[in-house]
Structure 1
Amino acid sequence: MIDRLAQSARQDEALLISTAVVDALVSATLADPFSVLGPHSVRDGLVVRTYQPGALGVTAIARDNGETLAELEPVQAPGLFVGRLPETRPYRLRVRWAGGDHETEDPYSFGPLLGEMDLYLFAEGNHRDLGHCLGAQPMTIEGVEGVRFAVWAPNARRVSVVGHFNSWDGRRHPMRLRYPAGVWELFIPRLGPGEPYQYEILGPNGLLPLKADPVALATEAPPGTSSVVAQPLDFAWNDQAWMQQRASRQAANSPMSIYELHAGSWRRESGEVYNWRELAERLIPYVIDMGFSHIELLPIMEHPFGGSWGYQPLSMFAPSGRYGTPQDFAAFIDACHVAGIGVILDWVPAHFPTDEHGLARFDGTALYEYEHPFEGFHQDWDTYIYNLGRTEVHGFMIASALHWLRQFHIDGLRVDAVASMLYRDYSRKEGEWIPNRYGGRENLEAIEFLRHLNDVVALETPGALVIAEESTAWPGVTQATEEGGLGFSYKWNMGWMHDTLKYMAEDPVHRSYHHDKMTFGLIYAFSERFILPISHDEVVHGKRSLLDKMPGDRWQKFANLRAYLSFMWTQPGKKLLFMGCEFGQWREWNHDTELDWYLLNYGEHQGVQRLLRDLNRLYNQEPALYERDCEPGGFQWLIGDDRANSVYAWLRWSSTGHPLLVVANFTPVVRHGYRVGVPLAGHWMEVLNSDAECYAGSNVGNAGGVLTDIIESHGESVSLSLNLPPLGVLILRPTPVGG
């Protein structure tokens, strides 16, 4: 029958196409399907072609009233249907399948979709709203509801959208290529949110594994690898008060105490992870009770391998499907803000995993990554390195950052692995890296990207933070870009963390030989705006938990931990502590199970938690502990050289000249009558003692306070005679006598 109809059709050559084109269409190698499919004007009307492999028949009907316009004839190849419409008129296709009829508008009847400005800005690397440009966008075009798909794959020979809606058949919905941007696009009518999809890409050297959408706004939960058409985020935010106050609450002269957590392993219900709304109900009251100002989430962008903790993400615009929908995530952020809690996200612009459904050789070429492995592959992490020198990749990552900050009201991004971005020879042997154009080791493209990122964030989302996890002595990380710096808001003080943890791991009898590890950080403490981090990285991979790092017997381990936390909370710099450290978890963190909350049945663990709660309360109440974090005048050593006794004493000063005294004894020996010079005569109240009985300590102290003696000491005209608790820290404030 097909031969008969084809013979009849040859009488109207306008209905036929060349054999080569037919072969390309059938073999899914046709680069420009719009040149053949859809409506095409001819001398005396309109020819419509559609390719529906497996269909029994196709009828063109009027879009407005369903009137039959033409029966399309099968010609030249199975599944290829063609017919002539008597007039140019919007139409639908009624496709007859073995399982029944299906009606839809013809995807190939719609003209170019993306605007020229969109394409220009994308190619230039300056499109700041790619989340609403590329990817899958539900929309109405010419009165027809559907989804517009757009994906960058400039070296592909053909790209198709595939999903359940077309039986994952790449022949059914090949896309239009927009020159010269290299973006493929297609509007598929009658699709809507919730539809899984991927891209089938014919690369220069053949068909690639199905690819997830780089700009997907939602994804299947792993182990599924499909992207999902997202419901537009039409969320009714209630956080206006927070957003108005945010800039001041995150400023360098404000208290910031950050609780770092992994969303899937903080708490679980019978082994099952909470979704975002359930997590909000349980986490927010806890964070408020503990006195933290912020939470910081390990990366929640979709990632294929849970064991990467999110640090090998593939979907840089999509919250992980493990915890719910994007709307659920927005509700979580909103609830945090309404409760007065800021939210920081870990964000990874340095590298991405090699999973074949991801960005790796996305169109059959090194598109998002560098081509040469000396530039484009991380040997340590088995990941690819973003080629941030390519304008489209540069702009893709800028748009990702802005997506979280603008769409989800995120208060800050902590940029992971900045050191690996700054240096071309990072963790590489001689001869295994490629110098920059000047012969140096600096990655000029990444440096330009980081500066641009920080400038754009400051302009587009005022008050939002960008925080660097940067472990080297790179100068000016938090210095303004116009002054030659990188422009970050804060930098993690990795040197302080390594030095102080190494000191604390020493047996107290040996600490006198490592005394300077607790003082060295003050040499550079005011060179940047710092956050003091005790992060997840310090309690995994055989490093032991924070409590278990401490030396000594059980009592000494807890005393050391309490002393260390007290030391940390009274040093210059904002604070970050990983979940579980606040109550002294014994084992290392395991992302597959919840924290060991049962430990809070024991007094020592309750004591650590109560201390941390009180430290946060004191930190928020005492401007001396935060107002001048970045000023040398906010800190004053009184005793930094008593290595024989492993004692330290210092003052923190507020902007109004009010001091707070901190004295730390890092030996298990009680020091009676230890003299410390102070700047003000009178009564000094003991506002916190890490050895107090309520913290499960030995309760050595000073009966709530001490009067000064007119005895010169440490350059001051008056001094205090103190009882220093074993492995303990005292915090004292001057008050009027009897006050």
Structure 2
Amino acid sequence: MALSPQDAKDIIAGCHADPFSVLGLHEVAGKLVVRAFVPGAQEIDAVDPKTGRKIASLTPLGEGLFEGTATRRKKRFAYHLNVTQDGHEWRADDPYRFGPVMGEWDEYLLGEGTHRQLWHVLGAHVMTHEGVAGTHFALWAPNAARVSIVGDFNTWDGRRHLLRRRGQTGVWETFVPAIGEGDVYKFEVLDCNRQLLPQKADPVGFGSEHPPRTGSVVRQLSGHSWQDKGWMSKRGAIQRFDKPISVYEVHLGSWRRVPEEGNRPLSYAEHAQQLIAYVKDMGFTHIELMPISEFPFDGSWGYQPVGLFAPTIRHGTLEEFRAFIEAAHRADIGVILDWVPGHFPEDPHGLAKFDGTALYEHADPKEGFHPDWNTMVFNYGRAEVSNYLIANALYWLQEHHIDGLRVDAVASMLYRDYSRKDGEWIPNKDGGRENLEAIAFLQNMNSTAYGAVEGIMTVAEESTAFPGVSAPTDAGGLGFGFKWNMGWMNDTLAYMGEDPINRKYHHSKMTFGLHYAFSENFFLPLSHDEVVHGKGSLLDKMPGQGADKFANLRAYYGFMWGHPGKKLMFMGCEFAQGVEWNHDSSLDWHLLDHPLHAGMQALVRDLNGIYSAHPALYELDAKSEGFEWIEENNDAESVFAWIRRGHGDQPPILVVSNFTPVARLERRIGVPEPGHWVERLNTNSEFYGGDGLGNMGGVQSDQVAASGRAESIKLTLPPLSTLFFELERR
């Protein structure tokens, strides 16, 4: 019936480039012919799906390939295949009888690399198609000779469910009846030489198996009824750069574990109860999740993702993750997601050499391989790859109501010579070291995200002096909302690591950050990177013994919360975790039984409280008029004093730090206005583990010149302490 020997051979071998032109229902010489391929079958009939009446008896052509003439005259009609194999009989829909799902507009946008809702088309989508329930699969693999879907539903036989190529887009698709939520699948790909590649997870899959298994899992994306309208309507006003933002960075796998159940990590549902209540109690405004996009290796902490569209199954399903986000929003807590568009691992089931070619990455290792992490670098200059990543950003923001993205390792994206020696990198078209394609991608991502999703924020982890990271794209900037101030973090931690007797020689490390503090919208980060890789804990970094270490750290936290810039603290640092962070175990919550650790936790809670309650500490974070040095150059005493101001007539806040173990009694500090200055917080308070030395609640100013000002207050500066004073206006 006009089936050529070559077609039959290719179908049986599973390498036919266009199986839909052969299998299914076709008109041949004026007759309707049904062809089916079911390896191992002995008999196949086409039957009416409603009545079970035979429509066609199919003749075996060999090795599971059958064909027969139908009794129907319509050019298209529904039918089932009645299959007999090894004494068993079953009925199933023929996947090759269904027409395409994708529309021409989707094809056009995919081909152009501008489909901003890529996940609506690619991936696995549970649907009803032509009246039948099943799942639509679509994949971008332009250089493949053949693509098929495999899973338990077809005994992982790549010959059974081949996809149809959609024109010149490089996209393949098929509809598989009876497949739905929870089914495991992978793509089987033949490269352009018809060589079989390792089975691939879905680059746009919404779910994954538990590692170390690597299959994708069909997850229903639509149908969730979000209950966070109140938060979503106001978050834009909350996440502005003139609002208090204090972020608690969390690794979900190790924040808290359940030792009674094999030391397992908490589920999304358990985090929704325990973590969110804790963050709320501590006064943080946001949670930042270390990457939760599916990743194969626990030791990467999520920074080497494979399933960019799949919330990791380690803590539960996609729906349970969404419930966690809703719980945060009910508590008025925003959620920021660590997002990793800079690189991806070489795991064979992932994106590397996806269709046998360097599809997502550069072919030349001087551009496409990252020496620091042994990972592949995305090819940002390829429209489809840039679109894939931008759509992924929008996916998290739109589909999961994520409030912000912290973009990892931006510096590694901006420079072609990042961590590369001479001769190991390729200059840009102008001969420079900047990665112009990555810069354009980041600008496009930020402008698209801010334009498409109201009220969100983006934050760059960027460690160089690249200009305009948080400047608008129309002014030539990268368009981020905020930038991590890595220089401030490195300088101030280096200062705090010095013995107090030597700090006078490093005084500028605490003041240098103010020379550029208003050039960007900064975050002050004390992140996980400072407590791993042999760096020890923050408490370890402090000099001295016992109580002195705690006093140093308390004073440092006070300095940080009084300094311009939004705040970020890694979990465990708030109660002075004693050892370096270990991703395989819980934080040492038992330390809170010790008064010094409990006191540190109480201090961070109160720092967040005073920060949120006083606009002078946040409204003008990114403007120089919000900051005024009172004492900047007192290196001999290691004393720092400054004023913070907010908009209008807000009461100013005076912050004073003494980073020596010597009490400064009756120490005069100049003030900009006369009046009573109320002591709002003292890191030396007995409540925090200090000895209680302070200023009895406040001091009255005198007309005595000090610090270059006509008015001053006489203070007791406890050793190793930071104090906050508010002008009381009557």
The question of a shared fold, defined as TM-score above 0.5 by the shorter chain, is answered with: yes
Pairs within 5 Å for 1:138-153: 138-153=126-141
Distance 1:359 1:644 in 2: 57
Distance 1:516 1:472 in 2: 19
Moved more, 216-225 or 61-70: 61-70
8 Å CA contact retained: 1:123, 1:391: no
Are residues 1:707 and 2:700 paired?
A: yes
Distance 1:696 1:233 in 2: 51
SS in 2 for 1:112: coil
Provide the residue aligned with 1:686 in structure 2: 679
Equivalent in 198, 201, 219 of residue 189 of structure 2: 201
8 Å CA contact retained: 1:559, 1:727: yes
Provide the residue aligned with 1:106 in structure 2: 94
The 1:233/1:323 distance shift into structure 2, 3 A limit, reads farther
Corresponding letter in the other structure for 2:101: L
Equivalent in 180, 190, 210 of residue 199 of structure 2: 210
Distance 1:100 1:303 in 2: 40
Paired residues, number: 722
Corresponding letter in the other structure for 2:63: P
Offset of 1:123 from its aligned partner?
A: 2.1
Corresponding letter in the other structure for 2:256: R
8 Å CA contact retained: 1:684, 1:705: yes
Pairs within 5 Å for 1:556-567: 556-567=548-559
Offset of 1:104 from its aligned partner?
A: 1.9
SS in 1 for 2:272: helix
Provide the residue aligned with 1:7 in structure 2: none
Deviations 1:578-603 (CA, angstroms, capped at 9, x unpaired): 00000000111111101000000000
Distance 2:660 2:89 in 1: 82
Deviations 1:590-626 (CA, angstroms, capped at 9, x unpaired): 1110100000000000110000000000001000000
Equivalent in 60, 67, 70 of residue 85 of structure 1: 70
Provide the residue aligned with 2:587 in structure 1: 595
Equivalent in 222, 231, 246 of residue 211 of structure 2: 222
Provide the residue aligned with 1:335 in structure 2: 327
Offset of 1:628 from its aligned partner?
A: 0.5
Distance 1:102 1:137 in 2: 25
Offset of 1:429 from its aligned partner?
A: 0.4
Are residues 1:267 and 2:252 paired?
A: no
8 Å CA contact retained: 1:625, 1:654: yes
Provide the residue aligned with 2:21 in structure 1: 35
Deviations 1:636-675 (CA, angstroms, capped at 9, x unpaired): 0000100001000000011123210011000111111111
Offset of 1:712 from its aligned partner?
A: 1.1
Equivalent in 688, 709, 721 of residue 714 of structure 2: 721
Deviations 1:218-244 (CA, angstroms, capped at 9, x unpaired): 111111100011123422222111111
Equivalent in 288, 300, 316 of residue 324 of structure 1: 316
Are residues 1:242 and 2:228 paired?
A: no
Distance 1:311 1:78 in 2: 46
8 Å CA contact retained: 2:206, 2:221: no
Corresponding letter in the other structure for 2:22: V
Equivalent in 411, 415, 437 of residue 403 of structure 2: 411
Deviations 1:687-710 (CA, angstroms, capped at 9, x unpaired): 110011111102111111112121
Equivalent in 96, 105, 114 of residue 117 of structure 1: 105
Distance 1:105 1:623 in 2: 65
Equivalent in 554, 568, 573 of residue 581 of structure 1: 573
8 Å CA contact retained: 2:143, 2:191: yes
Distance 2:647 2:170 in 1: 56
Are residues 1:170 and 2:158 paired?
A: yes
Pairs within 5 Å for 1:521-532: 521-532=513-524
Equivalent in 225, 240, 246 of residue 251 of structure 1: 240
SS in 1 for 2:670: strand
Are residues 1:349 and 2:346 paired?
A: no
SS in 2 for 1:351: coil
Are residues 1:21 and 2:7 paired?
A: yes
Offset of 1:266 from its aligned partner?
A: 0.5
Are residues 1:95 and 2:83 paired?
A: yes
Distance 2:43 2:295 in 1: 42
Corresponding letter in the other structure for 1:490: F
Distance 1:242 1:90 in 2: 48
Deviations 1:474-503 (CA, angstroms, capped at 9, x unpaired): 101111111111100000001101000110
The 1:276/1:99 distance shift into structure 2, 3 A limit, reads farther
8 Å CA contact retained: 2:43, 2:58: yes
Distance 2:511 2:110 in 1: 49
Moved more, 233-242 or 154-163: 233-242
Distance 1:21 1:45 in 2: 19
Distance 1:523 1:71 in 2: 84
8 Å CA contact retained: 1:45, 1:86: no
8 Å CA contact retained: 2:251, 2:289: yes
Deviations 1:237-268 (CA, angstroms, capped at 9, x unpaired): 22111111101100011000000000111011
Pairs within 5 Å for 1:376-455: 376-455=368-447
Are residues 1:511 and 2:496 paired?
A: no
8 Å CA contact retained: 2:361, 2:368: yes
Equivalent in 595, 603, 606 of residue 611 of structure 1: 603
Distance 1:490 1:233 in 2: 32
Distance 1:101 1:473 in 2: 69
Offset of 1:734 from its aligned partner?
A: 1.6
Corresponding letter in the other structure for 2:389: M
8 Å CA contact retained: 1:378, 1:385: yes
Unpaired runs of 5+ in structure 2? none
8 Å CA contact retained: 2:497, 2:543: yes
Offset of 1:102 from its aligned partner?
A: 2.5
Corresponding letter in the other structure for 1:249: I
Percent identity between matched residues is 56
Provide the residue aligned with 2:648 in structure 1: 656
Provide the residue aligned with 2:53 in structure 1: 67
Corresponding letter in the other structure for 1:548: D
Offset of 1:55 from its aligned partner?
A: 1.3
Pairs within 5 Å for 1:637-676: 637-657=629-649, 658-676=651-669
8 Å CA contact retained: 1:233, 1:326: no
8 Å CA contact retained: 2:34, 2:56: no
Equivalent in 354, 367, 383 of residue 375 of structure 1: 367
8 Å CA contact retained: 1:150, 1:184: yes
Are residues 1:458 and 2:462 paired?
A: no
Distance 1:233 1:493 in 2: 39
Distance 2:4 2:280 in 1: 71
Offset of 1:520 from its aligned partner?
A: 0.4
SS in 1 for 2:507: helix
Distance 1:544 1:419 in 2: 25
Provide the residue aligned with 2:689 in structure 1: 696
Moved more, 663-672 or 34-43: 34-43
Unpaired runs of 5+ in structure 1? 1-13
Offset of 1:314 from its aligned partner?
A: 0.7
Offset of 1:97 from its aligned partner?
A: 2.6
Offset of 1:274 from its aligned partner?
A: 1.3
Provide the residue aligned with 2:180 in structure 1: 192
Offset of 1:99 from its aligned partner?
A: 6.5
Moved more, 676-685 or 348-357: 676-685
Corresponding letter in the other structure for 2:375: T
Structure 1 length-normalised TM: 0.97
Provide the residue aligned with 2:302 in structure 1: 310
User: Which aligned segments of 4 or more residues in structure 1 are displaced greater than 3 angstroms?
Assistant: none
